[in-house]
Structure 1
Amino acid sequence: MASQVTRSVKLDEIWPELEDGIYTIITDFNKGFPKQKWMQLYTHVYNYCAASQSRTTRGLTSKQQQQQQSQSSGASFVGEELYNRLNHFLKKHMKDLLKSTESKMDESLLNYYYTEWDRYTSSMKYTNNIFQYLNRHWVKREVEDGKKEVYEIFILSLVVWRDFLFTPLKARLTSSLLDIIENERNGYQINTQLVKGVINGYVNLGLNKEKPKETNLQVYKTSFEELFQTATENYYTNESLKFISENSIADYMKKVEIRLNEEVKRVQQYLHPSTEADLIARCEKVLIEKHVEVIWNEFQSLLENDKISDLTRMYSLLSRIPRGLDPLRATLEKHVQTVGLQAVSSLASSGAAIEPKTYIETLLKVFKKYNDLVTGAFRSDTGFVASLDKACRRFINENAVTQAAKSTSKSPELLARFTDFLLKKSSNNPEESEMEQLLGDVMTIFKYIEDKDVFQDFYSKMLAKRLIHGTSTSEDLEGTMIGKLKSTCGYEYTSKLQRMFTDISLSRDLLERFNSHIEQNGNGVTLGMDFSVMVLATGSWPLQPPNTNFSIPKELQVCEQLFQNFYQHQYSGRKLNWLHHLSKGELKTKYLPTSKKGYTLQCSTYQIGVLLQFNSYDTLSTEEIQESTQLIDSVLKVTLTSLTKSKILLADPPLEEDDISKSTSFSLNKQFKNKKNKIFINVPVLTQVKEEIDSIHKTVEEDRKLQIQAAIVRIMKTRKQLNHQNLLSEVIQQLQTRFNPKVNIIKKCIDMLIEKEYLQRVENQKDFYAYVA
C-alpha cells in the first residue's frame, strides 16, 4: 500500500494573524498596508485551502482513498470554516460601528456613516484580493451548488453592512437626509458631496439575490426615494399655498419655474437619475395642477397688458400638465377676435371713407401682434395657431366695415384694392426691397378671406387695367404675386391671369409687325401720331363691351382702319371689337395765348372725342356734342363733368352738382393754368367706381351659381343617388376654398338642375336625388 504524510494547516494557527491583518486594513486603510504583510496573509489563505486537498491515506486501499476524498471534498470543509470566521468578524465590526452611532444625529451621523462606508468598501476590495483563492474555489463551488447565502468576500461585506449596520440605521439616516435636503430648499448651503456619497451607498446596497454581482434600486427606492417623494410633495404643498396667498400669480409662476429647475439640478447633483421623472411629475402636480384655475384666471389680464415674459412662463408651466392649455387657447381666440373687431370698429367710427391701405394695415397690425405672441411665447403650438386662425378669420370677414357694407365680400374687395395700390406705379410706392414683405402680408390676409372668388374678380379687373394702361410697378412683381396666389389656390385660380401676360407679350410682337408693315407697305400713308394697340383674347380678360355707341373722331379713324385691315389680313376669320371705353391718349393744347405754355392732356378716348370738336367750334351745346360723339346720356354726362371739373372746359351756365342739361353750352377755358405740363384728367368719378364695384359683385353672384351647379353635377355624377343633407355637405366642402356657398342658393341651384333635367327626385324617398345620365 502507498502512503503519504502531509501536515494539515489548522485554522486556529493562522486565524489570529488573519484577523489582526483584516482589522488593520479596515480601521487604518488610509495609512497603507505593507505588501509583504499582504503576501503573508494571502499565503495563509492559500496554504489552508490548498493543504486540505492532501490527506493521510496510510493503511487504505485505493478504493477507500477515493471514497474518503469523495466524502470529505477536501477544501470544501476548511473553506466553509474560514468563510464563517470572516463573516463573524465582519458582523462584530458592524456592531462596534453601530454602537458608535448612538450619540450621533443629523449631519454628524451622515458624516460618520459616509466616512466609515467609504473606508469599509475601499478596504474590503483590498481584503477581497487576500481571499481570492477562497473565492475561486470554495465560494465558486458553493454558488454553483445553489447555495444563495454564500457570496464572494466583497459581496459578503456589503451584505453584512446592509443587514447589521444599514438596516438598524436607515430610519435615522433617511430622516437626516430629508432634513438636510429641506435645509437646502430653505436656502441654506449644504454638503452635496456628503449627501451624494450616502445616497450612492443606498444604491450600492441594492444587491440582486439571483445575481449577487449585480445591483438593483430596491434599497434606494424603498428606504429613501419613496419617503423623499412624499416629503417633497408635503413641502411644496405647504409652500405653494402660503406663497400664492401672499404674492401675485406672475411672481408665483416665477417661483414655480425656479423650484422646478432646482429639483432637476438636485437630481443631477446627488440623486439617482431614475428619480427625476417621478419627482418632477409630483412637483408639477402640487405646484401647477392644484393651482391651475387660479393661473388660468390670470391669463386674460396678462393678454390685455401684453406681459410677454409672464405669458411665456405660463405656457411653459401649463404645457407640463394634462389639458393645461385648453382654456388658454379658447381665451386667446376670444381675445384676438375682440381686439380685431374693436380695431376695425374704431376705424369705421371715424365716419371717413375706408381706405384699403388703412383697413388692411389695421387687420395686419392685430394679426402680427398676436402671431408674434403665438410663435414666440407659445412656441408655435398647433392649438394656439388654430385659435389665432379662427379669430382672424372671424374678425376679418365679419366686422364693422363688412356690416356697414352689408356684405362679407367687402374685405376681399379692399384687399384687392390694396394690392392694386402696391402694384400700380405711384410716387407713394414702397421701396422694392419692401415689396416682397408687403405682398407676403397681402397673402397673410388672403389666407383668412372666405370669399376668395371676390378677390379674384377684383384682382383680375385691376390687373387688366394695369396691363392695358401700362401702370404696373414691375412685371416681375406682378409675376411674384401671381405665383403666390397659384401656390395658395392652385393653377386654375391663376390660369386666366397668366394668359393675360401672354396676350400682352403677343400684342407687343403684333404691334411691331404692324409698324414695320406701315413703314414698308404704306405707300406714303402715315399715321400722323404715335399709335399703339393691344389685341386681347376675350376669354382671358375680364373686360366688358362698351355700354354706349361712340363715333370715333376723324383724326383717329385712319389709324384704326389701317390696323383693322392689317389684322384681318394676318388672321382671317377673327373679329376685332374696339373697346374705346378702355382706351386713352394724349392731346397737346394750342389754343392758349402764345405767352402761355402749352399742356399735354392725358385723356380717355371719350374725352378726346369731345375735345377734338372744339378744333372746329368755339362753343358747343350738350346736344351738339352728343350728336357728334353718339355717346349716351350717362356716359356723356360723366365725360363732360370730368372735363369741367378739371377746368379744361367752361360750362354756361356753370354746373351745380353736375346738373348738365341739353342746352348747357361748353367752351375751351383759354385762361387755363396748371403747375404741371402733363395733366391727367381721366379720373373716374365716384359714380363710375360704385357702378364698377356693383357690377363685379353681381358678376361674382352669377359665377357662384354656375360653380355651385357644376359642383352638384360632379358630385351626383359620381354618387348617382344622394340625400339632400349629404349633397349640401359635399357641395360646401368642395367650394369652401373659394367661397362659403349659402344653403338657400344651393337649394335654388338644385331646383334649377331638376328643371334642366340634370337631376330628378327619387320616388317614395323624401329629399333624395338621382343623377340623370
Structure 2
Amino acid sequence: MRPTVLKLLRQESVTKSEWQGLFWAVHSVCLWDDKGPQKVYQALQDDILEFIRQAQARVLQHQEDSALLKAYIAEWGKFFTQCGYLPKPFCQLEASLAGKAHNTMPKKSQGEESIVRKMMLDTWNQSIFNNIKHRLQDSAMKLVHSERNGEAFNSQLVIGVRESYVNLSSDAEDKLKIYHENFEKAYLEATKSFYRVKAPQYLQANGVQNYMRFADAKLKEEETRAKRYLETGWGCTSVSALVDCCVDVLVTAFKDTILHECASMIKVNETEKLRLMFSLMDRVPDGIAPMLHDLEAHIVSQGLADMMSAARTITTDSEKYVEQLLELFNKFSKLVKEAFIDDPRFLTSRDKAYKSVVNDISVFKLELPSKTKGMNVKTQPESRCPELLANYCDMLLRKTSLSKKLTPEEVEKKLKDVLLVLKYVQNKDVFMRYHKAHLTRRLILDTSADNEKEENMVEWLREVGMPADYVNKLARMFQDIQVSEDLNQEFKEVFRNNNNDALADAINIKILNAGAWARTSDRISVTLPMELEDYIPQVEEFYRQKHNGRKLQWHHLMSNGVITFCNDFGRFDLEVTTFQMGVLFAWNQRPKDKISYESLRLATELPDSELRRTLSSFVAFPKLKKQVLLCEPEAKSPKDFEDSTQFWINQKFALIKNGRPQKRGRINLVGRLQLSTEKSKEEDNEGIMQLRILRVQEAIVKIMKMRKKITNAALQTELVEILKNMFLPSKKLIKEQIEWLIEHKYMRRDEDNINMFIYMA
C-alpha cells in the first residue's frame, strides 16, 4: 500500500488499478485479525507525519515573509486537497476501528470528520502548524500593517493563511476553534496596536473635527478590510468583533474629547459635523446620552431666550405668541432632522425640552388659588400658554380681521398648529376651560366665522387625546344651539298667533343645558326693561307645555340685544348686553335728567362690581370719540365712581366717520361679552383646582380597584400616565389625596410596609 499512499500525498499520478488495488488491500488487511487495522492506521500515520516534516523543511527554507507565506500556502493547499481523497480507500479501516469496542484508536461519532481525515489534520496541526504558526501570523499581520500604511501586496497571501486556520480544526463542535484562538486574536491585537499609536497622533495634529472624519473613514475602511481577511461564514462574528475593537481604539478612547465639542456645534447649527459625531457616538455605550443632554439644554436655553427677547410683543398678542412657539418648534425639528436623522432618542429629547419651554413660567405666569379649610392657599404658578392658545383659537374661529384675511385651508392649518403646541402643554384643563368660554361666547353672539370649522375643532380635540367628557360637553353645546333654533321658531309662531305682536320677531331665545354651558353662580339679578320682562312668563309657560318637569333659569349675564338710542343729534342702533340695556333704560322716561350712582344701583339692582363695569363701558368706551354717557366728577377708572357721582345722557353723542359726525349708525358696545363675574372668575380658577382634586381621587380609586395592592411609587407612575392628557399632578396634590382616601376608608396602608397601599372595597 505504501507506494500508492506516498504517490497520493505527493500528488503524483496514480493509475486506476493502483487506486482500486489500494481499496482491496486495505479491505484484506483489516479482515486478517484484530491487529490488522491498528497496524494499517499506525503505518499510515507514520507516512503522513514524514510527509509533513518534509513539507515543513521546504517551507522553512524561505526567510522573507512573502516567500514563506507563498511556500506554506502552496504546501497546505496540496495537503488539504489530499485530505479529501486519501481517506476514501480507508473506509474499511474506519469501519473496523469503529466496530471494535476494546479498540484504543479514536472512533468516529456522528457529525465528526472521518478518522483518517481527522488524523491528517491533527498531524498537520501538531507538527508543522504549531511550529511555524507564530511566524505565519506575524508575516500575515506585517502585510496587513503595510496595507494600512498604503503599501501594495498580494492580499491572497493573508486570505490563504486565514483559510488554513479555518480548515485545520477537526473539532466537530467548534470548527473555527483554531481560527478564533489564533488568527482572529492576532488580527484584532494587530489592529489595536496600529491605531493606539496612529489615532492620538492624528488627533493632536489635526483637531477634533478633522479627527472625526478620520475615525469615520478608518472604521469603514477596516470593516471592508475585515470582510476580506476575516472569516465571514454563517454564525461567525469576526467582522463585528473587529468593528467593536476599532470603535474602542478610535472612538471610545477619545469619547470625552469629541463630546466636548457637541454643545458648541449645536449652538452654531453645524448639522453635518453633528451627524458625523452622532454616527460615531452611536457605536459607543452611553455615547449618545451626553449629546441628548446638550441638545435639551440648547433647546431650553435658546427657546427661553427667544421668548424673553420677544416678551413685550407676545405677552399682548396671542397670535405672535403661537407663531413664536411654532417657529421654535420648526427650528428645533429641523436641527434634529438634519443633524440626528430624526433618531427617536433625539426626537424624545426635543419633545422633553420643548415641553419645558411651553410650560415655562418666567415669561407668563398663571396662579391658581386653592381654598383649604376656608383659607386661600397659593398653588404652584403655571404657564399661561394654555390660556393664550385658547385666545388664538378664538381669533381664528371668530369673525375677526385675522380670520377674514385667511382662506379656510390656512385657518385649518393654523388650528392644527395650535393642536401641535397643545400636545406639549402640561395643564390642558386650563386650555379646556378657556376654550369652552370662548366657544360659549361665539355661539351666543353668533360670531363664529365658520360653523363647520367649529365642529371640526371639537373632533380634532378628541383625536389629540382630550378627555371624552370634556369633548362630549362641547359637542352637546352645538346640539343645544340647533335645538334652540327650532324651539325659537315655534315660540315666535305661538306668540305671534296669541298676541299678534310684531315684536315677537325681534326676540331670540336660547334654551341651553345648564350642565354643558354655565354654573348657578353666574346668575346675577338685574331689573329688566318692561318690554323684556313681559316675555319671561310667556317663554316659561311655552317651555313648560313642551317639557313638563324641567325648570328654566334665566342667565341675563349671557344675554344681549340691540336698542335704538335717540338724542338731540340723531338715532343710533346700539348692540348692548342686558346689563347695559338695564342701565340705559333708567333714562327712558327722563332722557335729560342726571342720575346718581346710588340711584342707578337701586334702579338696576346690579351688584356693585357689575354696575361699575357697565357704567365704565358707557363713559370710557375706547372705540368712541364721543361717549354715550357723561359723568361728574370725572373718573379715571370704575373704582373712582362714588354714590354721589352723577351720570347723564350725552345729547351730543354721535358716531365719527372720516372726521365727521354721523346722525345715523350702528355701534357694538358688547365687545367681548363678559361671561363671568369677578366672583365667578375666582370660582373658575378654584374650579380648575377642585376638578383636579376630584380627577386625582377618581384615578387613584380606579387604579386601586384594578390592582388591589400597589406600592406608592407604582401608584404615582400610573396616576401620572392616566392624568397626563389633562394636567400633571404635583406630588403634594397626590400625597394630600392619598391621605384623604385613607381617612375616608377607600384604601389603607399595609401594616408591614407603609409604602404599600391596599384597596378597601
Q: TM-score band (shorter)?
A: 0.7 to 0.9
CA gap 1:91/1:378 in 2 versus in 1, 3 angstroms: same
Aligned counterpart, 1:456: 432
Shift of 1:199: 1.4
Tell whether 2:727 aligns with 1:738. Answer: yes
SS of residue in 2 equivalent to 1:488: coil
Shift of 1:305: 1.9
2:524–2:556 CA contact under 8 A, matched in 1? no
SS of residue in 1 equivalent to 2:517: coil
1:347 corresponds to which of 306, 310, 315? 310
Tell whether 2:558 aligns with 1:582. Answer: yes
2:465 corresponds to which of 488, 491, 499? 488
Tell whether 2:363 aligns with 1:408. Answer: no
Cα distance between partner residues in 1 of 2:130 and 2:417 = 71
CA gap 1:771/1:619 in 2 versus in 1, 3 angstroms: farther
What's the C-alpha RMSD, in Å, of the aligned pairs? Answer: 5.2
CA gap 1:109/1:592 in 2 versus in 1, 3 angstroms: farther
The runs of 5 or more residues in structure 1 that have no matched partner are 1-10, 27-36, 56-67
Deviations 1:340-370 (A, max 9, x none): 332332233x387432233333344444444
Tell whether 2:577 aligns with 1:604. Answer: yes
Shift of 1:496: 2.7
Shift of 1:536: 0.8
Tell whether 2:34 aligns with 1:102. Answer: no
CA gap 1:583/1:310 in 2 versus in 1, 3 angstroms: same
Tell whether 2:93 aligns with 1:138. Answer: yes
1:759–1:772 CA contact under 8 A, matched in 2? yes
Aligned counterpart, 2:624: 646
Deviations 1:620-644 (A, max 9, x none): 5454987876656314313313658
Aligned counterpart, 1:312: 275
Per mean C-alpha deviation after superposition, the further-off stretch among 677-686 and 272-281 is 677-686
Aligned counterpart, 1:537: 513
SS of residue in 2 equivalent to 1:576: coil
Deviations 1:378-423 (A, max 9, x none): 5666765565455444443333223597931523322322332333
Aligned counterpart, 1:501: 478
SS of residue in 2 equivalent to 1:235: helix
Aligned counterpart, 1:357: 319
Task: For 2:183, give the aligned amino acid.
Answer: F
Cα distance between partner residues in 1 of 2:678 and 2:382 = 17
SS of residue in 2 equivalent to 1:322: coil
Task: For 2:275, give the aligned amino acid.
Answer: T
Aligned counterpart, 2:501: 525
Aligned counterpart, 2:244: 281
Cα distance between partner residues in 2 of 1:69 and 1:708 = 91
1:511–1:532 CA contact under 8 A, matched in 2? yes
Task: For 1:398, give the aligned amino acid.
Answer: D
1:335 corresponds to which of 298, 301, 306? 298
CA gap 1:191/1:679 in 2 versus in 1, 3 angstroms: farther
CA gap 1:115/1:684 in 2 versus in 1, 3 angstroms: same
Cα distance between partner residues in 1 of 2:71 and 2:731 = 84
Aligned counterpart, 2:138: 175
Instruction: Among all aligned residue pairs of Structure 1 and Structure 2, give the percentage whose two residues are the same amino acid.
Output: 26
SS of residue in 2 equivalent to 1:683: coil
Shift of 1:203: 0.9
SS of residue in 1 equivalent to 2:191: helix
Shift of 1:202: 1.9
Cα distance between partner residues in 2 of 1:629 and 1:263 = 91
CA gap 1:532/1:193 in 2 versus in 1, 3 angstroms: farther
Shift of 1:118: 4.2
Cα distance between partner residues in 1 of 2:26 and 2:228 = 51
1:621–1:664 CA contact under 8 A, matched in 2? yes
Task: For 1:138, give the aligned amino acid.
Answer: L
Aligned counterpart, 1:195: 158
Aligned counterpart, 1:634: 612
Shift of 1:153: 6.8
CA gap 1:91/1:760 in 2 versus in 1, 3 angstroms: closer
TM-score by structure 1 length?
Answer: 0.75
SS of residue in 1 equivalent to 2:649: strand
Deviations 1:714-751 (A, max 9, x none): 99999999999999999999877535358499769979
* Counterparts of residues 292-441 of structure 1 (less than 5 Å): 292-348=255-311, 350=312, 353-371=315-333, 373=335, 377-378=339-340, 384=346, 387-403=349-365, 407-429=381-403, 430-435=406-411, 437-441=413-417
Shift of 1:495: 3.9
SS of residue in 2 equivalent to 1:665: strand
Deviations 1:176-232 (A, max 9, x none): 221222233234455444432331122112233xx5xx9722332233221111111
2:223–2:243 CA contact under 8 A, matched in 1? yes
SS of residue in 2 equivalent to 1:302: helix
Shift of 1:239: 1.8
Task: For 2:48, give the aligned amino acid.
Answer: N
TM-score by structure 2 length?
Answer: 0.76
Shift of 1:43: 0.5
Deviations 1:557-606 (A, max 9, x none): 66666544422332244333333332334467898999xxx986544344
SS of residue in 1 equivalent to 2:170: coil
2:569–2:651 CA contact under 8 A, matched in 1? no
Per mean C-alpha deviation after superposition, the further-off stretch among 420-429 and 736-745 is 736-745
The runs of 5 or more residues in structure 2 that have no matched partner are 109-113, 368-379
1:230 corresponds to which of 165, 189, 192? 189
* Counterparts of residues 691-706 of structure 1 (less than 5 Å): 696-701=684-689, 703=691
Shift of 1:535: 0.7
SS of residue in 1 equivalent to 2:204: helix
Tell whether 2:227 aligns with 1:243. Answer: no
Tell whether 2:652 aligns with 1:666. Answer: no
- How many residues align structurally? 714
CA gap 1:231/1:607 in 2 versus in 1, 3 angstroms: same
Cα distance between partner residues in 2 of 1:177 and 1:642 = 96
Cα distance between partner residues in 2 of 1:463 and 1:200 = 78
2:583–2:604 CA contact under 8 A, matched in 1? yes
Deviations 1:489-529 (A, max 9, x none): 4323434323323322322332233345456x446333364
1:452–1:739 CA contact under 8 A, matched in 2? no
Shift of 1:453: 3.0
Task: For 2:624, give the aligned amino acid.
Answer: S
CA gap 1:466/1:374 in 2 versus in 1, 3 angstroms: same
SS of residue in 1 equivalent to 2:316: coil
1:642–1:685 CA contact under 8 A, matched in 2? no
Shift of 1:271: 0.9
SS of residue in 2 equivalent to 1:408: coil
Larger Rg: 1
* Counterparts of residues 540-559 of structure 1 (less than 5 Å): 540-542=516-518, 549-553=525-529, 556=532
SS of residue in 2 equivalent to 1:738: coil
Task: For 2:216, give the aligned amino acid.
Answer: E
SS of residue in 2 equivalent to 1:539: helix
Task: For 2:396, give the aligned amino acid.
Answer: L
Tell whether 2:447 aligns with 1:471. Answer: yes
Deviations 1:422-476 (A, max 9, x none): 3333342354445555444434443443433322322221221122223334444
Cα distance between partner residues in 2 of 1:69 and 1:54 = 5
Shift of 1:158: 4.9
